[in-house]
Amino acid sequence: MSFAATILTLYPEMFPGPLGISLAGRALNEGRWRCDPVQIRDYATDRHRSVDDTPAGGGAGMVLRADVVAAAIDAVAVRSGGEARPLLAMTPRGRPLTQQRVRALAQGPGVVILCGRFEGFDERLFEGRAIEEVSIGDYVLSGGEMGALVLLDACIRLLPGVMGAPSSGDEESFESGLLEYPHYTRPAEWEGRTIPEVLRSGDHARIAAWRKARAETDTRLRRPDLWERHEGARVGSPSGAQRMKDE
């Protein structure tokens, strides 16, 4: 069964876009995932085909209408292969996307993704259709389409048969709650900089120990937020992080 992605957008021509090439593009051609963009404007009911209106209470910009977007949602089959797919909306007010959420989505039947433009959606839509709001980071994009492409890319590479070596995902950043260790390749010396000696030693135990240590140090220095969560989980209880701080 393939991963079914339905994207509701005012710019369906943005899909599959960059996901039509490389790893994701090959997987699309192989039928490992499906990409079905839907034009929200096709569900407008007035003769101007309007999808938005001015914000209640005043202010700048336009707001996507709940009735028009809901009609688009209701017209797409939320089920795929008999299973209900999560209904997501890309918005900067959503829950930040994590590798854990990506992994769960990739294991399911697919996703239905709503992409906003302008100031966003009428808030009543989220409750009215049980929509999960998702953000890809603390910055504002001009629309949800780029966010949807990011989310889909992260899911597609985890689908069975998509990544060359199945194990190449196991050690990468975030899978263990840590950043990944750094990589090097030939030439052994470049602009006077050398590859760490241990990586050329052939001693697999030493190499593994070095990689583990670098993953830990780099996470601690670069991402203290991730490090604290990792340490909390390692100590074995939700209060672990606090206990570490107290020590």
Q: Which is nearer to ligand ADE, 28 or 97 (CB)?
A: 97
Residue 110's identity, in one-letter code, is: G
CB 76, min distance to ligand ADE, A? 19
CB 15, min distance to ligand ADE, A? 15
What is the DSSP track for 195-243? --GGGGS--HHHHHHHHHHHHHHHHHHH-HHHHHHHHHHHHTSTTHHHH
Determine, following the binding rule CB under 6 A, whether residue 219 of this chain makes contact with ligand ADE.
no
How far is residue 179's CA from residue 164's CA, in Å, rounded to a whole number?
A: 21
Q: How many residues bind ligand ADE (CB under 6 A)?
A: 11
Q: Which is nearer to ligand ADE, 4 or 97 (CB)?
A: 97
Of residues 129 through 148, those in contact with ligand ADE by CB under 6 A are 135-137, 139-141, 144, 147
CB 149, min distance to ligand ADE, A? 11
Residues 6 or more apart whose Cβ sits within 8 Å of residue 53: 62, 63, 65
Determine, following the binding rule CB under 6 A, whether residue 64 of this chain makes contact with ligand ADE.
no
Q: Which is nearer to ligand ADE, 109 or 147 (CB)?
A: 147
CB 117, min distance to ligand ADE, A? 9
Residue 140's region, left for phi above 0, alpha for psi from -120 to 50, else beta, is beta
Evaluate whether 160 touches 132 at the Cβ level (below 8 Å): no
Of residues 75 through 94, those in contact with ligand ADE by CB under 6 A are 90-92
Determine, following the binding rule CB under 6 A, whether residue 56 of this chain makes contact with ligand ADE.
no
Among the listed residues 207, 214, 152, the one whose alpha carbon sits nearest the alpha carbon of residue 5:
152
What is the DSSP track for 145-174? HHHHHHHHHHHHTTSTTTSSSGGGGTTSTT
Residue 150 burial (C-beta neighbours within 10 Å; 0-12, 13-18, 19+): middle
Of residues 92 through 111, those in contact with ligand ADE by CB under 6 A are 92
Q: Which is nearer to ligand ADE, 118 or 174 (CB)?
A: 118
**In the complex, which residues of this chain contact ligand ADE (CB under 6 A)?**
90-92, 135-137, 139-141, 144, 147
